[in-house]
Amino acid sequence: MEEKLLLIEEYAKEKKIPIMMKDGIEFLCKYIKEHNIKSILEIGSAIGYSAIKMALVDKDIKVVTIEKDINRYNEAIKNINDFKLVNQIKIINDDALNTEIDGKFDLIFIDASKGNNINFFNKYSKNLSSCGIIVTDNLSFHGLCENEELIKTKNQRGIVKKIKAFIEFLDNNKDFYTEYVEVGDKIAISRKKG
Ligand code: SAH
Ligand code: MG
């Protein structure tokens, strides 16, 4: 099991696929375990790494995960089969901005294109169970959000701007309150107010 996970980590590194950082995914898995989370919706599967890690926390956990890139989707299918997790993980090959998902989830994990975080948050908050949480990854963008002098390209500047707008959106949200955790590339944990 551990060995197979290492192979996926190596594959991701080689192909420059931005899977969750080690401490980030460990934090999330611990949270899932401690809060008895059983249903998860993930936006951005890539090659299935985080979905597999989360599904392995408990055999009663069900994950629905969306990936728009066909090659990553195919690789994810391969990995999910390899871990014999087809009964726990349902992967959808689609653009999450256009997908309609039924049902409610204890955890919605947003880990796709940083510029669309507000859209994903607004679109999928209807799928959150009343005590559920929305976790969003990559709020630091490898330190660039806190250290703007390190920004080198126009593209990076654009992404930093969008992440900052997302943080402002969270901080001013009337329906959710959010705490930030400095693990991995920094994550936000949002809960419904009241
Ligand atoms: N959660 C994964 C990493 C995801 S990387 C892990 O930790 O293992 C982000 C992924 O989101 C990429 O593979 C990208 O193709 C996908 N993505 C970006 N925008 C998307 C969208 N609108 N709909 C679905 N997937 C998207
Ligand atoms: Mg990420």
Nearest-CA residue for atom 6 of ligand 1: 19
For the record, the structure tokens of 147 come out as 């250290």
Question: Which ligand neighbours the alpha carbon of 185 most closely?
Answer: 2
Let me know: does 106 contact 37? Beta carbons within 8 Å: yes
Buried b / exposed e over 20-38, threshold 16 CB at 10 Å, is bbeebbebbbebbeeeebe
> What's the number of domains the chain is made of?
1
Pocket of ligand 1 contains residue 186 by CB under 6 Å? no
**Residue 108 C-alpha to ligand 2 middle, in angstroms?**
13
**Residue 143 C-alpha to ligand 2 middle, in angstroms?**
13
Query: Residue 1 above 90 pLDDT?
Result: no
Cα separation, 95 vs 156, whole angstroms: 23
What pLDDT, on the 0 to 100 scale, is given for residue 147?
Answer: 92
Q: Which residue has the higher pLDDT, 1 or 120?
A: 120
Q: Read off the pLDDT of residues 125-173 as tens digits, 9 standing for 90 and up.
A: 999 999 999 999 999 998 999 999 999 999 999 999 999 999 999 999 9
Question: What is the percent of the chain with per-residue pLDDT over 70, rounded to a whole number?
Answer: 100
Pocket of ligand 1 contains residue 46 by CB under 6 Å? yes
What pLDDT, on the 0 to 100 scale, is given for residue 194?
Answer: 84
Give the ligand 1 atom nearest the CA of 112: 11
The residue length of the chain stands at 194
Question: Which ligand neighbours the alpha carbon of 52 most closely?
Answer: 1
CATH code, domain carrying 104 = 3.40.50.150
Pocket test for ligand 1, best of 40, 67, 98, 162 (most atoms within 8 A of CB): 67
Give the ligand 1 atom nearest the CA of 72: 13
Q: How confident is the model at residue 104 (pLDDT cuts 50, 70, 90)?
A: very high
**Residue 194 C-alpha to ligand 1 middle, in angstroms?**
31
Q: What is the residue range of 6's domain?
A: 2-192
Nearest-CA residue for atom 10 of ligand 1: 44
Please state, in angstroms and as integers, the Cα–Cα distance from residue 22 to each residue in 19, 53, 129, 152, 188, following that order: 9, 11, 27, 26, 16
Quote the mean pLDDT of the chain: 96
Q: How confident is the model at residue 34 (pLDDT cuts 50, 70, 90)?
A: very high
Rounded to two decimals, what is the model's pTM? 0.97
Q: Read off the pLDDT of residues 47-87 as tens digits, 9 standing for 90 and up.
A: 999 999 999 999 999 999 999 999 999 999 999 999 999 99
Question: Which ligand neighbours the alpha carbon of 136 most closely?
Answer: 2
Cβ neighbors of 57 (< 8 A, separation 6 or more) are 29, 32, 33
Let me know: does 141 contact 160? Beta carbons within 8 Å: yes
